[in-house]
């Protein structure tokens, strides 16, 4: 069994790790001590450096949903010298020609099709569907049941909402939020929040 430490005690990711035979050594959480689901809370972000020598050979998996939070946590723990691992469900369907980079979390019944590239610390939630030749930039999140069709490029720090659909051959710029159930019919060049069918800008990035 592969030993891991989870950053964030999210029960859904704990169960994903358990069901895929990962050995959870402990959890790093803001509480800093105690237990959650019978796992020790080792420390919090502020005092994690004092535990580096003890746990330096155990990779971390970053669990929060927010792209910005994952980036912040990655930077913090990378600066401390920790290493990272992807957590990929055995029930996910990953094409042999797809590439999954470091630090990803890929949940049950996710499909990643031919020649797609999933960037660093991307989170793919349950039953999302990534079709052929899709590129998803670092730290982005794809929510449950979202469909990203062929030849789509998604930038960094994006959030693709549940049950949304991105039509083929579209590019979505960095720092974009696609609302739940939205249908993206044309490329997005301006960061912000887009909702509806077809998706329209409702809030620009501040």
Q: CATH number, domain at 161? A: 2.160.10.10
Residues 8, 46, single domain; the answer is yes
Residues 81, 99, single domain; the answer is no
Q: Give Cβ neighbours of residue 141 (< 8 Å, ≥ 6 apart).
A: 65, 66, 67, 122, 123, 125, 158, 159, 160
Q: What is the pTM of this model?
A: 0.96
Query: Is 80's pLDDT higher than 70?
Result: yes
Query: Is 3's pLDDT higher than 70?
Result: yes
Is residue 199 in some structural domain?
no
Residues 97, 188, single domain; the answer is yes
- Quote the distance between the C-alpha of residue 205 and its chain's center: 21
Query: Is 155's pLDDT higher than 70?
Result: yes
Is residue 63 in some structural domain?
yes
Average pLDDT taken over every residue of the chain: 96
pLDDT at residue 32, as a whole number: 77
Residues 105, 186, single domain; the answer is yes
* Alpha-carbon span 125 to 136, nearest angstrom: 14
Residues 141, 185, single domain; the answer is yes
Residues 11, 79, single domain; the answer is yes
Is residue 201 in some structural domain?
no
Region 124-147 average pLDDT: 98
* Alpha-carbon span 69 to 60, nearest angstrom: 15
User: Is omega for the bond preceding 198 within 30 degrees of 0, making it cis?
Assistant: yes
* Alpha-carbon span 95 to 7, nearest angstrom: 28
Residues 110, 48, single domain; the answer is no
Express each pLDDT in 97-130 by its tens digit. 999 999 999 999 999 999 999 999 999 999 999 9
Q: CATH number, domain at 25? A: 3.40.50.20
Residues 108, 74, single domain; the answer is no
Residues 48, 67, single domain; the answer is yes
Please return the burial class of 36, using the count of CB atoms within 10 Å of its CB with bins 0-12, 13-18 and 19+. middle
pLDDT at residue 206, as a whole number: 60
Residues 6, 78, single domain; the answer is yes
pLDDT at residue 1, as a whole number: 85
Please return the burial class of 80, using the count of CB atoms within 10 Å of its CB with bins 0-12, 13-18 and 19+. middle
Residue 74, by phi and psi: left (phi above 0), alpha (psi -120 to 50) or beta?
alpha
Strand pairing class (192-195; 200-204): antiparallel
- Residue 191, classed as helix, strand or coil, is coil
Lowest mean pLDDT among 38-47, 162-171, 179-188: 38-47
- Residue 140, classed as helix, strand or coil, is coil
Q: Count up the domains in the chain and report the number.
A: 2
Is residue 96 in some structural domain?
yes
More confident residue, 69 or 31: 69
Active-site residue flag, 74 = no
Region 167-176 average pLDDT: 98
Is residue 131 in some structural domain?
yes
- From 20, 54, 85, give the residue that closes a domain: 85
HSE toward the beta carbon, residue 161, CA cutoff 13 A? 15
Query: Is 86's pLDDT higher than 90?
Result: yes
- From 85, 101, 124, give the residue that closes a domain: 85
Which residue is catalytic, options 11, 74, 76, 132? Answer: 132
DSSP labels, 77-95: HHHHT--B--EE-TTSEE-
Range of the domain at 172: 91-192
- From 51, 85, 119, give the residue that closes a domain: 85
């Amino acid at each position: 069994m592969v030993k891991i430490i989870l950053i964030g005690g999210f029960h859904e990711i704990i169960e994903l790790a358990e069901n895929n035979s990962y050995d959870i050594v402990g959890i790093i959480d803001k509480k800093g001590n105690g237990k959650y689901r019978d796992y020790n809370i080792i420390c919090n972000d502020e005092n994690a450096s004092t535990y580096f020598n003890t746990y330096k050979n155990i990779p971390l998996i970053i669990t929060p949903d927010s792209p910005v939070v994952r980036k912040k946590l990655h930077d913090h723990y990378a600066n401390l010298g920790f290493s990272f691992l992807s957590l990929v469900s055995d029930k996910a369907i990953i094409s042999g020609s797809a590439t999954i980079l470091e630090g990803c979390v890929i949940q049950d019944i996710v499909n990643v099709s031919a020649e797609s590239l999933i960037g660093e610390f991307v989170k793919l939630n349950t039953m999302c569907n990534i079709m052929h030749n899709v590129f998803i930039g670092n730290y982005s999140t794809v929510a449950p049941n979202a469909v990203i069709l062929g030849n789509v490029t998604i930038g960094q720090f994006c959030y693709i909402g549940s049950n949304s659909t991105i039509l083929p051959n579209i590019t979505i710029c960095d720092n974009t939020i696609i609302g739940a159930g939205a249908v993206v019919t044309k490329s997005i060049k301006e960061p912000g929040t887009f909702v509806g069918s077809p998706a329209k800008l409702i809030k620009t990035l501040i």
